[in-house]
Amino acid sequence: MSTDQEVLLSVQNLHVEFDTYGGTVQAVRGVSFDVFPGKTLAIVGESGCGKSVTVQSLMGLIPTPPGRITQGTAIFKGNEILGNIYIDGKDIRGSEIGMIFQDPMTSLNPTMTIGKQIGESLLVHRGYSQKQAQNRAIELLDMTRIPEASKRARQYPFEFSGGMLQRAMIAVALACEPSILIADEPTTALDVTIQSQILDLMQELQSENNMSIILITHDLGVVARMADDILVMYAGKIVEQGEPEQIFYRSAHPYTLGLKSAMPSNKNEQDRQLIPIEGSPPDLFSPPAGCGYAPRCPNAMRICKNKPVDQFFELEKAHHSACWLHHEDCEVSVPGLHRITSGEQK
């Protein structure tokens, strides 16, 4: 991503912790990223790596206590929003930043009609009358390709299929035409046909409204289709960041290589097997002294286990990796891992 563009949202050094009976969970450990107008930033990683907690903390949605933001800043349109989601006295949630949650069935109110739930943010943030909000809700349902929108607006969530519920959630999130749409696993539990329709819809609406998208997912296929920039997260940290071509074709972190090896391919290779990543993510009650991925990494060195990677190694413009394998003194060769050549070392 070119850095000469205006940044819509800039998150720097975000740390989030949760107090539990078992101790303190360090869920997010120093995450930084920028979101640009009209672009899609994908945050990818396996379950428990801190993706959802990162965006929920930006929206003021983590329960406090037990959760708390211990460090970091999040500047949205020149205003700090960490710990204060109000700008000029107005709540930015729903108005400036919309969110599609993982499970629409549990995120929507079962006692309210779909139309009322879509129109609610218009009543609160835009001062619409009840009739104006209902008419706009019907327009939004129609825009999200739900047939018989007027009839559907009077129905309840239990009367919708999974794909329709996801479209209704998109309509709720887009009601106030937000600058940023956060999509947290927007295609989970949907069949591939509906997934494709949902992704097409999101891209269409993004193009029409010049809306930015933060896409949270573990599905690399969705990432390849949607993203302009990619963050790979593991154990509460970003381990690699870059553009799709860099991440998929010039992977620079062993964890990214592991995710790719575990992903099905459409290549005509009869004997190709999916290679799982052995082991489990680290216990974030007591994070490892070194790299979080070291216990599972087949290429781990002694330094990986003892010293944290406190810097990003720049492989090329906009492509960075937090891995000691890129240090100028490292002589280990890893098949498939994109490396800085000796002439490029800084």
Q: What is the pLDDT of residues 278-326, one digit of tens each?
A: 888 888 888 888 999 989 998 888 899 989 888 899 888 889 999 998 8
Can you name the residues that pair with 90 across neighbouring β-strands?
87
**Residue 320 belongs to a domain:** no
Please tell me the distance from the alpha carbon of residue 110 to that of residue 249, in angstroms, as a whole number.
45
**Residue 148 belongs to a domain:** yes
35: nearest Cα among 27, 43, 45:
43
157: nearest Cα among 113, 98, 101:
113
49-71 burial code (b ≥16 CB/10 A, e <16):
bbbbbbbbbbbbbbeeeebbbee
**Residue 256 belongs to a domain:** no
The per-residue pLDDT for 346 is 42
Here the tokens at position 92 are 């930015």
Mean predicted lDDT score pLDDT of the chain = 86
User: Quick one: how far is CA 93 from the chain centroid?
Assistant: 17
**Residue 168 belongs to a domain:** yes
Please tell me the distance from the alpha carbon of residue 116 to that of residue 219, in angstroms, as a whole number.
32
**Residue 342 belongs to a domain:** no
**Residue 331 belongs to a domain:** no
- The pLDDT tens digits of the residues spanning 46-58 come to 888 889 999 999 9
**Residue 83 belongs to a domain:** no
**Residue 163 belongs to a domain:** yes
What is the average pLDDT across 76-102? 84
CA 306 to each of CA 283, 287, 324: distance values in angstroms, whole numbers, following the listed order: 16, 12, 11
Q: How many domains does the chain have?
A: 1
Which pLDDT band, with edges at 50, 70 and 90, does 1 fall under?
very low
Domain housing 166? 110-174
Q: Poorest-confidence range of 179-188, 238-247, 259-268, 300-309?
A: 259-268
What is the average pLDDT across 109-136? 90
- The pLDDT tens digits of the residues spanning 151-206 come to 999 999 999 988 888 888 888 888 888 899 999 888 776 777 778 888 888 888 88
Q: Which residues have C-beta within 8 Å of that of residue 174, sequence separation ≥ 6?
A: 98, 140, 143, 144, 181, 205, 209
